[in-house]
């Protein structure tokens, strides 16, 4: 076999092997799904009951459309109630407040303790803290990609190997398309604790997390495969909430 023909066959074998590995769809998808599942964390003072509190809907200051399509204020508040409950805080259900919730949120944000006095009844009477979780940053800070188009290399192989071997090598190599892209997001979350009686700020904190999203793809001789990687924006928001609650847990 001539050098060109041997090279063409070797290319086909190597690239087909890579494509078959990439096409192991079930294993790849399950592995990625495992990484995106809910991951509980340990709260150091979980054995100690925390104060009564209400999680108010926070604000999302990012105007990134991709982020806003996946995350809203109520998503974050739901995560916060879950994690604060796991940390043994006495969380009062927001749904119990009904239409009062918007008025309470406005009074807290304006720092007006007098406006809160009219709500001092029922479960609200025992509330110690109001807590909000705000997204201050959500942006894709970097993006990179690379690819391979086999058409040029196929022409070279076809020229080096004459006859059938050259034709097969040209077709096989020219059909190869590879791509790899990745982007990195940085999301920042602030929590704020407000005293339910005075509306004075008790504590605040800020955390950031990084999320990488990417995609790899291979196509050869009409057979293609692709896989994505990275966690979702939902996962990032929940993990940031967990970091905030771990710090809040230290204040018991």
Residue 125 has pLDDT above 90, yes or no: no
With H, G, I as helix, E, B as strand and everything else as coil, classify residue 231: coil
CA distances from 174 to 8, 163, 215, 244 (A): 11, 17, 22, 52
Look at the block and give the residue holding tokens 């605040």: 204
Fold classification of 3-249 is Rossmann fold (3.40.50)
pLDDT the model gives residue 243: 97
Average pLDDT over residues 41-45: 95
- Where along the chain do its domains lie? 3-249
Look at the block and give the residue holding tokens 């809907």: 57
Q: Percentage of the chain surpassing pLDDT 90?
A: 33
| Strands of the sheet with 90-91, listed across from one edge | 90-91, 52-56, 129-149, 177-195, 201-220, 223-229
Residue 169 has pLDDT above 50, yes or no: no
pLDDT in tens, 170-202: 444 455 555 444 678 899 999 999 998 888 999
pLDDT in tens, 220-233: 544 444 444 556 78
Distance of CA 214 to the CA centre of its chain: 12
With H, G, I as helix, E, B as strand and everything else as coil, classify residue 185: strand
pLDDT in tens, 8-24: 554 554 455 555 444 45
């Amino acid at each position: 076999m001539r050098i060109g023909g041997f090279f063409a066959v070797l290319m086909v074998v190597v690239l087909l092997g890579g494509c078959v590995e990439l096409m192991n769809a079930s294993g790849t998808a399950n592995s990625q799904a495992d990484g995106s599942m809910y991951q509980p964390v340990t709260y150091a003072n979980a054995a100690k009951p925390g104060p009564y509190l209400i999680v108010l809907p926070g604000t999302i200051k990012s105007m990134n459309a991709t982020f806003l399509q996946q995350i809203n204020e109520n998503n974050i508040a739901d995560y916060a109630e879950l994690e604060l409950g796991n940390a043994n805080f006495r969380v009062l259900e927001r749904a119990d407040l009904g239409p009062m919730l918007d008025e309470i949120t406005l009074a807290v944000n304006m720092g007006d303790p007098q406006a809160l006095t009219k709500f001092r009844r029922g479960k609200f009477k025992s509330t110690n803290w109001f807590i909000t979780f705000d997204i201050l940053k959500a942006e894709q800070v970097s993006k990179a990609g690379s690819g391979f188009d086999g058409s040029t290399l196929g022409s070279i192989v076809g020229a080096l190997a004459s006859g059938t071997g050259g034709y097969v090598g040209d077709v096989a190599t020219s059909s190869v398309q590879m791509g790899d892209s990745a982007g990195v997001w940085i999301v920042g979350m602030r929590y704020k604790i407000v005293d339910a009686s005075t509306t004075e700020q008790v504590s605040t904190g800020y955390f950031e997390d990084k999320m990488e999203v990417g995609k790899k793809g291979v196509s050869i001789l009409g057979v293609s495969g692709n896989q994505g990687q990275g966690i979702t924006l939902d996962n990032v928001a929940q993990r940031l909430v967990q970091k905030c609650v771990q710090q809040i847990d230290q204040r018991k």
